[in-house]
Chains A and B, each alone.
Chain A
Amino acid sequence: MFSVKPMKPTFKSYLPPVQSDVKKTIEPPIKKLEPKLLPGEIVVNEANFVRKCISVESSQDDLWGKLICTNFKVSFIPQDAPSKPTVAEMMKLNPIVVDRVTRSASCSVAQKFQLSHLLLGEHDIPLTCLEHVVTVNDTKGKKKVLGSNQKLKFNPTELILYCKDLRIIRFCFDEAGPESAKKVCLAIAHYSHPADLHLLFGFEYQGRRYHESKAERLNTPVRRGGLQTPIFDRRSEWDREIKRTGASEWRVCSINELYNISSSLPEYIVVPVSLADQDLKQYSIFLTGNRLPLWCWNHRNGSALVRMASVCDPVQQRKIEQRIITAITKSHPQCSEVFISDLDKCLPSIQDIQSSFVKIRQICVIDPFEESEERWLSSIENSRWLEYVRAFLKHASEMVYHLDGRNVSVILQEEEDRDLNCVVSSLVQLMVDPHYRSLVGFQGLVQKEWVMAGHRFLDRCNHLKKNDKEESPLFVLFLDGVWQMMNQYPAAFEFTEAYLTVLSDSMWIPLFSTFLFSSPKQRAQYLMDFARNKAIPQGEDPIVYFPPVWDWSQQFSAKDQTLFNNPMYVGKGAAYVLNGEVKSFRRTKKYGSAYRGASATLRNGLKGGEDPLSRRGSLGSELKAEFSPMKYVVESPSERFFREWFSRPADQQGLLLPQLTPSHMALWKLYFLRWVPEACISKGGSITAYHKLSQLVDEIEILQNHLRQYKAPTPSGTPLPSPKGPPADQRRMYFQAASPNDSPPEFLSSSFPFTPVGNLCRRSIHGTPISKFLNGARIWLSTETLANDSL
């Protein structure tokens, strides 16, 4: 009754009208559909006989069930509970594949390989993850974006949820009661706009969890909840960082204890030894947000990376800045000059970044697939996202030049020192210090340069949906920058792009202390109040009662967490260096060297007198000398620094610089396209390489395990090592050594470990007449003479 009339174009709809053929008699069995609730979670509203749309083309694969709104999430409980994708759903994903999927009957295998979240079901969306709650009445042609406490003047026939993790989920109410449909929509809208921070579900959940798991903790008490990631809320952690980097002319200062000086700085900060507490107190008055300069990192050569806010008093500006610079200079072993970079002047603003993100999201997930296909490249360019990612990487590379190439200390200056500085300082450190390319190092870096440095996660994420103007995806931009580095140096990072993606998704789950607050002081206060309200004993570590995201066991099983491990990683602890007898990392003599500046004696990558078979067809040798000194081209010192660096083979455990030619900036497809069914490469994508590498590394680790067992002093009679290697739950690799007869991994796709099934599907390529799909082609060929086609 709702869907017969065509939709009136009163708003731009990206969806075709619902087909009327859904009116086939559906008599849903009355079955109790119970949501899976977390401790402290309560159902606030629900509607029965709701249809979750799986595909636009037909409704036959849609799921029927109950739509529930709780104080934590929107949940959908399907009637016939195939909680994982069915063959029918996979068909929608890519009709072409189905035939083979069914033939090989391995779809049941597929299920166990999906990343499963411990706190969220497949059809669950945390309320904080909702970007827009849109209600539609397609008979009346009405659409409304719902906010908090709003009225809805029409009965919704559809609910479309636009999520911050880029999913788009659509529900239809054609069989649900109009009133209950309306109520559940309003409830979702209302509860996704919490009036206050402490109403976020984490404050309920973590309290219950703390008390419920008390017994376990008493049995196995571990320091800081067993977390290895430094939080940088303690003096000792800063001390360790000073020692690690050899920053002997810097000290930990505690004048901000109890946030006496600045609410956005951590309680312990690192400052030049030449500055006394008294000086610092005096300077802080003149700095925006009373933010004293913050030491980030020290180069082996003694130069330091420092970030600071601007001096707000123009009268004092020169004087204060000069004193700070003098102190930093004194902390440099050569007392060399200091380079100051004003980021506000040379990088896009947070508003630029936000509008760029909105555009690229529109292109990637909201616009109909074929429509955005037509001018895909220029649309991506127009969004400016890649340009911005490149700008930040480029700026960070230039800072690396000063630190490493010129051996001078660098001050990153930004008005508030809480946004752009976070991105640049952390990218610089990723480039210069391999420690941050390990998992624990990276997490510590985020703690140090984002969480403790006072990045306004609460405002930038807009968790309370109070002020859209403050919203900006700086952290995603940073993760994209990390991904670009990872894409160029796949062996340099201990973690994977799946890890980065999961980390970005975790921002929208309000259960971890990491992304909920805008400053260290706010975090401390809220957690203190929380502890008091929830009767948590004084002196308990906040990490234990309100853990950060870094305790990944909150979200994923040990097995699923192995998806974070990069099998190619060349670093400490990697299979590569476990015993010192393996050759050092090097390039193959021909393939590698012919593309790079090679030594003078090489000719076509071939040494004189070498086997002529290895001659590479005598091509490609122009490259030999590209990096040789030039007479005519005027080269700046920084150009020279980069040219020389790029002419040497990259050391995965040394300085790494990204290549920044526009053709090297790539779209982070796993992040932007994982939910788009049409963009999903079935049984393909880089994951297939990861799969193969993981299996190989797993075999290596089994062998190493054997060697260790053999080498261990075994009294005669002890059983010999079992050929199976370490138990499965201790394996580091997600994909384990398999027999060659194993069936091909049907479940792998370019979206892995995510699945686009159930996300708002648009028409697939294969289902569309190709003429329609390609109809853009003719337009730009008008100049072509048809007669020429006789060839």
Chain B
Amino acid sequence: MEKSGSMDSLGSKQSSSRHPSVDSLSSSERSAQVKPSSAMLSETATSAEFSPDIRVKAKIHAKQVLRDSDKEEPQLLPNEIVQDMAQDITYFCPFTGAVRGILTVSNYRLFFKCMDREPSFVLDLPLGVVSRVEKIGSASSRGDVSYGLVCKDMRNLRFAHKQLDDTLRKSIFEVLMKFAFPVSNGLQIFAFQYGQVFPENGWKVYDAVSEYKRQGIPNESWRITKVNDHYELCDTYPSTMAVPVNIPDEELKRIAAFRAKGRIPVLSWIHPESQATVTRCSQPMVGVNGKRSKEDEKYLQAIMDANAQSHKLFIFDARPSVNAAANKMKGGGYESEDAYQNAELVFLDIHNIHVMRESLRKLKDIVYPNIEDSHWLSNLESTHWLEHIKLILAGALRIADKVESGKTSVVVHCSDGWDRTAQLTSLAMLMLDAYYRTIRGFQVLLEKEWLSFGHRFQLRIGHGDKNHTDADRSPVFIQFVDCVWQLTRQFPAAFEFNEYFLVTILDHLYSCLFGTFLCNSEQQRVKEEIPKRTVSLWSYINSQLEEFTNPLYVNFSNHVLFPVVSLRHLELWVGYYIRWNPRMRPQEPVHQRHKELLAKRAELQKRVDELQREVTNRSASSSSERAGSPTRSITPVQTFV
């Protein structure tokens, strides 16, 4: 068995020195080499910089480490190194049966290829999607050793190989385990080695100051505070935040003491007309004794006062009321309406990360590998997945409705304010603000509401960590993307991005190819120099926007989306959850047809223009004596994109 890369040569700190293939890529510098985000704040970059003219067709002449003669090997990415290769591996495909082939493991991927078949069978996945590797049973009578891979992307894989004669030799699956869980094995996540250069630098997509500026902040009621510049007020919050003007930084510190993990209420979004706001925070530390904080009460009053349109404030607690009450035992709780006058507290009944994890597990059970012919709908119902989706969307709809129709400011929190709260604020903002429905706007939304406000991606996904039973893991973000997909189904022309965009984001949530979803907070990302040392997913996406664009997109200004949050309109996202099933051929895409029609129109337009020119020239040369210029009637046909 050939080994192209010795594992011993792989040190976790070598990434910068191991560039041979990258250096040959192009003369340009790694676009990912930018200053850490704290430094970016001083830059004046606005989102307008990223206008579509940047959309240069990317031409990267990466000479891959691919040897044409050796087709069993995958096409490797920059700095990807094959770690092990094994012949005679059996893959038990749940759909087509067992296939025998060659398995390759690199520091990034698992690659299985069976050449005996026509067309040849290929399995190619990033090791990041692997949640667990298990040896199944002991060696069978035929001397086979079997391994099961449970993946984070709704599939399980099963392989087998012959019992090795040399018991001292490591099985390829042991190698695989090492590289699938680099964090547990003291290795580096592949994103730190991947050196691909893209024409656009995705780390520049989001700049907090520019985004607040877009929203009109600072204004007479809201200011940008630097109190968290060094993450001292709250280590899970961003360094740049918007707070009411009349609350000085000193007071913010006292409020932080009263909010779980110091996550004080800060601005997420402000309505351009009514000035009604969406603010987010964690639960108040009320405790069993009903502790109060004058500063916190004053602060919420200030949030309310910042909106002259309404004399009320809605506090949306994402949790079921019983859960919120139970939190008092641990010092947490919720705002009492006695303490917070003019505030109305509403519980949104959304369940916690454990419930969601369990629900998705049940869903996987019924969709992978096969769907039973009978009881599909009741089986789906019993997973409660769509009901959770409904509760989240219903909560976001209530928030959007209060802000848009009620012109009332809202405060959103759950327990810590980084899971359900992120889901709710970002979905409400998608409904309220058409900017977030563009491709770049959606990236800004994720960077802001999820990444900068400390959704704990590392813990929830468990990048490179073998501890698959970790109770901190939960599909909160997947659930959010599912909700977004539901919105795109109800409003097919309201989003600039397509389904593939959402699937790509979820694929790279796990792949560990890009740095975007690494770490738990902005502070950690700064410390790890993520923007400097890794490539952003947005670099990849924004360098080929066409792939991700919804051709049906119509940018209607001021179009607030009010989805129908009913199971009648909620569907299972078949294109994501059931995509491994070969029976799930995607529906004939409407978008595809639209693209063809666009091409057709462009071609016709060209021909009409040509003919018009021809006619104009002809009549100009032949009949100069005729009165009245014929060109007057040749108004170009108006077409609108």
Contacts and interface: CB of A to CB of B under 8 A. Distances in A.
Interface of A: 94-97, 99-100, 369, 373, 375-378, 380-382, 386-387, 487-492, 567-568, 570, 575-576, 581-583, 585, 587-588, 590-592, 595-600, 603-604, 606, 608-609, 611-633, 643, 646, 650, 652, 659, 661-664, 666-667, 669, 673, 676, 678-686, 688-689, 691-693, 696-697, 699-700, 702-704, 706-707, 710, 716-717, 719-720, 722-723, 737-740, 744, 750, 765-766, 770-771, 773-774, 776-778, 780-781, 784, 786-791
B198 to A, nearest CB: 7
A769 to B, nearest CB: 9
A619 B579 CA distance: 11
A95 B406 CA distance: 12
A617 B508 contact: yes
10 contacts: A588-B592, A625-B93, A628-B96, A646-B582, A661-B583, A678-B566, A681-B564, A688-B491, A790-B327, A791-B352
B587 to A, nearest CB: 5
B489 to A, nearest CB: 9
Contacts of B384: 780
Contact of B567 (A376, A682, A688): A376
Given A381-B376, A603-B75, A661-B584, A688 B119 contact: no
A153 to B, nearest CB: 39
Given A492-B588, A612-B64, A628-B96, A618 B547 contact: no
Chain A CB within 10 Å, residue with most, of B109, B565, B601: B601
B264 interface: no
Nearest to B62: A612
B294 interface: no
A246 B500 CA distance: 44
A613 B544 contact: yes
B349 A377 contact: no
B377 interface: yes
Chain A CB within 10 Å, residue with most, of B511, B600, B619: B600
B327 A603 contact: no
B26 to A, nearest CB: 12
Contacts of B572: 663
B477 to A, nearest CB: 14
A597 to B, nearest CB: 7
B415 A790 contact: yes
Nearest to B71: A608
B493 A378 contact: no
B557 to A, nearest CB: 8
B75 A608 contact: yes
Contacts of B323: 786, 789
Interface string B543-557: 110010000101010
A706 B600 CA distance: 14
Contacts of B619: 716
Q: Which 9 A-B pairs have the closest CB atoms?
A: A600-B119, A625-B121, A626-B582, A662-B376, A632-B97, A786-B326, A789-B323, A703-B604, A744-B556
Contact of A770 (B346, B387, B615): B346
Contact of B588 (A491, A750, A766): A491
B121 A624 contact: yes
A706 B387 contact: no
B348 to A, nearest CB: 7
Contacts of B95: 626
Contacts, number: 394
Interface stretch (B5-13, B172-180, B630-638): B630-638
A623 B121 contact: no
B597 interface: yes
Contacts of A567: 597
Interface string B590-614: 1011111111110111011001100
Contact of A684 (B60, B117, B490, B586): B490
A414 B448 CA distance: 64
B565 to A, nearest CB: 7
Interface in B346-367: 346-349, 351-355, 367
Interface in B611-641: 611-612, 615, 619, 622-623, 626, 630, 633-641
Interface stretch (B123-131, B224-232, B437-445, B522-530): B123-131
Contacts of A700: 597, 600-601, 604
Contacts of A737: 638-640
Contacts of A628: 96, 117-121
B383 to A, nearest CB: 10
A666 B587 CA distance: 12
Contacts of B386: 377
A488 B588 contact: yes
B574 interface: yes
A574 B173 CA distance: 55
Contact of B354 (A664, A699, A777, A784): A784
B608 A663 contact: no
A710 B466 CA distance: 70
B508 to A, nearest CB: 6
A615 B511 CA distance: 13
A683 B434 CA distance: 14
B106 to A, nearest CB: 10
A609 to B, nearest CB: 8
Contact of A94 (B155, B330, B562, B600): B562
A614 B581 CA distance: 24
B142 interface: no
A720 B608 CA distance: 12
A699 B387 contact: no
B433 to A, nearest CB: 15
Contacts of B381: 375-378
Given A568-B590, A684-B491, A750-B564, 5 more contacts: A591-B500, A603-B124, A613-B58, A626-B93, A703-B639
A746 B359 CA distance: 38
A214 to B, nearest CB: 44
Contact of A689 (B580, B590, B623): B590
A683 B559 contact: yes
Given A625-B117, A626-B96, A604 B508 contact: no
Nearest to A394: B373
B593 A96 contact: no
Contacts of B571: 666
A438 B384 CA distance: 41
A676 B500 CA distance: 32
B394 A773 contact: yes
A612 B60 contact: yes
A682 B594 contact: no
B416 interface: yes
Nearest to A657: B585
B494 interface: yes
